[in-house]
Amino acid sequence: SDIDALEGAVFQVEVTGTFRDPEIGEHTSAGAGSGFFIDADGTAITNNHVVTGASIVKALVAGTEYSARVVAASECSDVAVIKVDGDDDFAFLDWYAGDIKPGLDIYVAGYPLGDAPFTLTDGIVSRATGVIDENWAWVANSFEHTADTNPGNSGGPLVTAEAEVVGVHYAGYAETDQHWAISRDDVEAIL
């Protein structure tokens, strides 16, 4: 697959329930983020903080709404595995097999909050290893990247130009212009 095939494999996650947001604490509302398929049967990845506390999870895939459910989650790594109910021929992404190191060209795919269309931003891996130790996540295999992100990009994939997944976007700090992703290695271990 390549970068043109991304839009079918990346989708918007819509949730309702009680949530703990890293920036504003607990609140009850509808939330949203991004996710991506890792197989044709509807198994997908997003952030745990996107779906935690959700009573209803929906996936908006290329304009079609599907029901979804959380099947596994790692709170400390901020990764959730969800199953989207529907077709068994979803477009999906493969994992990047190379080394994740500074200078690797990456793209962040996802759906910013609101009625925003699919977006793709580019950058590089700027720091290949790091530990994020926040009160809402402890991610051992995280890395920093330079692609601009928006709220709603959480849970979306970081991919190479061949659309192979390097990691999962999960945090951005606008004040310091820093953006963080959970490494493919953490996600594969959880899977």
For residue 6, what is the enclosing H or E element?
Answer: helix 6-9
Q: How far is CA 113 from the centre of its chain?
A: 13
First to last CA, the chain: 22
What's the rounded Cα separation, in Å, for the pair 20 and 78? 12
- The rounded distance, in Å, linking the Cα atoms of 164 and 94 is 5
Residue with tokens 């290949």: 128
Q: Could you list the active site residues?
A: 49, 78, 154
Q: Which residues of 84-117 are buried (b: 16+ CB within 10 A; e: fewer)?
A: bebeeebbbbebbeeebeeebebbbbbbbeeeee
